[in-house]
Amino acid sequence: MTRALVAADSQNPPGRERLVADVARQLLEPLCGSVAEVEAAPGRVSLVGRIGDCSRPTLLVNGHLDTVPADPNRWAHDPFGGEVADGRIWGRGTADMKGGVAAAIEAVLALGRAGIEPPCDVLFHLVADEERGGRFGTQALLDRGLITADACVVPEPTSLDVCIAERGLLHVDVLLHGRPAHASEPRVLPGQAQADAVDDVRRLIDAIDDPDLIYDLEPIVFGEASELAPSHPWTAWMRAAIAGVIGRPPAVIGMPFATDARFVRNQRAIPAVVCGPGSIDQAHVDDEWVAIDALVDAAAVYATLMAGFDDEAVAVLHERRTAPTR
């Protein structure tokens, strides 16, 4: 499944997710029956597929189908070949994050083969445009009121560590008049609004002591930071599931960059962790790869989560939902 998804070029930009969404649909449809499509702009396709009938707790799996671009001239492997060598699958998106999406789908299949009926609905949001801020992906699902769940896992590459916090992002165009200068990147931290972040950039530029410096500053993309409390039961639950598979408790970490988890955490107050196979060191690099063993471990972790996501366990999460982290 990882190889099939990698073979479907979904580089963003330009962001044409139609092809990969059609491949993902073929994987999901046997599990979900019908798979709904949200096409936020022409060709910018996200999929919504639910396993279950809404009568049980809902575990949301949010995974993006787009990738950053790949320059084949810089790769030893075909970025879209899905080549298998040295216990790895090579290609753009193997780690970030088609491997994680495949592992989550495989978890459902594995439970079925084992004759285990999960006590929950599993809701797949396989989205466009994460790599460029999510406007045509998770943001579009949010705007349509489609993000509802009791908890969420985002299978981005964390080497199966449990990521509960992440910085936000701010892209700005700064047009400098006069002598060119260099503006450093701000760090968008939890609680910081766009205006604060933009002010930080202005302060950096204003600190340049040059009376001839005149500039225009235009915010392009803003993503707020987000976090889940380390003491939240969903954090403990994830750690236990992972420890049961890999034999040791994973680290609980924060990330210096933003993922779609921020929409789920901040806009919907749904507890969300980012946790998936493959290393973040492999994201966006030439000759990206994911270890096949890591995909298998991740599928086992997700299957464990799905198998245990019952009313009783979810009630514990709901006790905490009255007090979202921000």
Q: Summarize as ranges the residues that interact with Zn ion (CB under 5 A).
A: 96-97, 156
Is 66 among the residues known to form the active site? yes
CB of residue 46 vs Zn ion: minimum separation in angstroms?
14
| CB of 30 or CB of 69, closer to Zn ion | 69
The residue type at 24: A
Minimum distance, C-beta of residue 280 to Zn ion, in the bound complex (Å): 9
* Alpha helices by DSSP H, the chain: 2-7, 18-32, 99-113, 138-143, 194-206, 233-246, 261-262, 268, 292-308, 311-321
Structure tokens at 311: 């009313």
Residue nearer to Zn ion on the CB measure, 69 or 191: 69
Quote the least distance from Cβ 68 to Zn ion, whole Å.
9
Q: Closer CB to Zn ion, residue 24 or residue 317?
A: 24
Residue closest to Zn ion, measured at CB? 96
CB atoms inside a 10 Å sphere around CB 34? 9
**For this structure, is 86 an active site residue?**
no
Query: What CA–CA distance (Å, rounded) separates 4 from 2?
Result: 6
Among the options 83, 106, 130, 260, which is catalytic?
A: 130
Burial 37-47 (b: 16+ CB within 10 A, else e): ebebeeebbbb
By C-beta, is 66 or 150 nearer to Zn ion?
66
Q: Is the dihedral of CA 300, 4, 143, 227 positive or negative?
A: positive
**Catalytic residue positions, numbered:** 66, 130
